[in-house]
Amino acid sequence: MGFGFLHRHRGSTAYLLLAPGMLFLVVFFLVPLGFLAYQSLESGSIDFGYAFTWAWDNYSSAITGYGTQFKRSFAYAGIATAIALLVSYPVAYWIAFRGGRWKNLLLLCIVAPFFVTYLIRTLAWQTILSDDGLIVRTLTDMHILSPGGRLLATGTAVVAGITYNFLPFMALPLYVSLEQIDQTLIEAAEDLYASKWTAFFRVTFPLSLPGVVAGTLLTFIPAAGDFINAQLLGSTTNHMIGNVINSKYNELIDYPAAAAMSFILMAIILALVLIYARAVGSEKLTG
């Protein structure tokens, strides 16, 4: 960590080149972050105003009061990330290795839903999963769903929505890392007595790990803080921490509580990412 990499460049050119980016980071990230930290330790109410009082109980009450939503956020995000990985990997694999001249078109198909606004896409799912929609009717007819059962306003719908909305963030990094794999490496593995499956698990998959890590992080992190899917496709029993922060901030105007929760969310995500990076091993990621 730190700015050790700066030492590689002697002279001022590197600093000059870095300046705009650094300035941007300071103005649009560090300053708001500091402000948020300050706010999270305030106490008071919207009517009488807030004052800085080192109010650490904002944190403790966030955890005691909304532990369920925190846990649910990470569970939903985790499941959605796992499903997105399982769904995207074969797709990315197929496009990278078998796509031929259709590669670009197929990639376009993956990002195509992104041409429609996030909100509209999720609202569309509301219609698709609605009680009198095609899916619910079909599942009821097939006796998979009991009569009167519903999809909308369930955890399943929220997870499905998150998975769908973040799928491209998973698929594209996977595609990039798979596409870079030299095909002769797979031939070499087969030459050395590895069956297709063994070659996949011993060579292809390990070499695609950078894509797996990038994809899971790009999916998991925003998914854990998401509230649109839970709001539009779930009920209050499916609310995630994002919904709580949103309502604290926008509806209850309880800035300190919202700020404290944001910090807790950030801290947990950071911790999970570090554990994850450790587990996968940075050695493997750099090849």
Partner 1 sequence: MDESVVTAPPSAASPSAENGSGPEYDIRLIGLTKRFDDVVAVDNLSLDIDRGHFFALLGPSGCGKTTTLRMIGGFEEPTEGRIELGGVDVAPLPAYKRDVNTVFQSYALFPHLSIFENVAFGLRRRRVKGGEVRRRVVEALELVGLAGLERRKPRQLSGGQQQRIALARALVNRPRVLLLDEPLGALDLKLRKEMQLELKRIQSEVGITFVHVTHDQEEAMTMADQIVIMNGGHIEQSGTPTELYESPRTAFVAGFLGVSNLLEGTMVGEDRVKLSDGTEVQCPREALGGRTGTVQIGVRPEKLRLGAGEANSLSGTVAESAYIGVSTQYTLDTPAGPVTVYVQNDRPGGQVATGERLTLSWSPESTFVVDSQEGLQ
Q: Does 180 bind partner 1 (CB under 8 A)?
A: no
The CA distance from 112 to 276, in Å, is: 30
Structure tokens at 206: 């390990």
The CA distance from 84 to 173, in Å, is: 12
Q: Does 22 bind partner 1 (CB under 8 A)?
A: no
Structure tokens at 214: 């990038």
C-alpha neighbours within 13 Å on the C-beta side of residue 7: 3
CB of 155 to partner 1, least distance (A): 38
Q: Does 131 bind partner 1 (CB under 8 A)?
A: no
Q: What is the DSSP letter of 4?
A: G
The CA distance from 246 to 87, in Å, is: 30
CB of 7 to partner 1, least distance (A): 23
Stretch that binds partner 1, among 23-31, 184-192, 217-225, 239-247 (CB under 8 A): 184-192
CB of 191 to partner 1, least distance (A): 5
Binding mask of the shown chain, residues 138 to 177, with x at each position contacting partner 1 by CB under 8 A: ----------------------------------------
Q: Which is nearer to partner 1, 163 or 177 (CB)?
A: 177
Angle at 226 between CA 224 and CA 231, to 5 degrees: 130
Q: Which is nearer to partner 1, 181 or 265 (CB)?
A: 181
- Farthest-apart Cα atoms in the chain, separation: 76
Number of residues that bind partner 1 (CB under 8 A): 20
Stretch that binds partner 1, among 8-16, 142-150, 152-160, 191-199 (CB under 8 A): 191-199
Q: Does 207 bind partner 1 (CB under 8 A)?
A: yes
Q: How many residues does the chain have?
A: 287
| Contact status, residue 162 vs residue 76, Cβ threshold 8 Å | yes
Site for partner 1, rule CB under 8 A: 182, 184-185, 187-195, 198-199, 202-203, 206-207, 284, 287
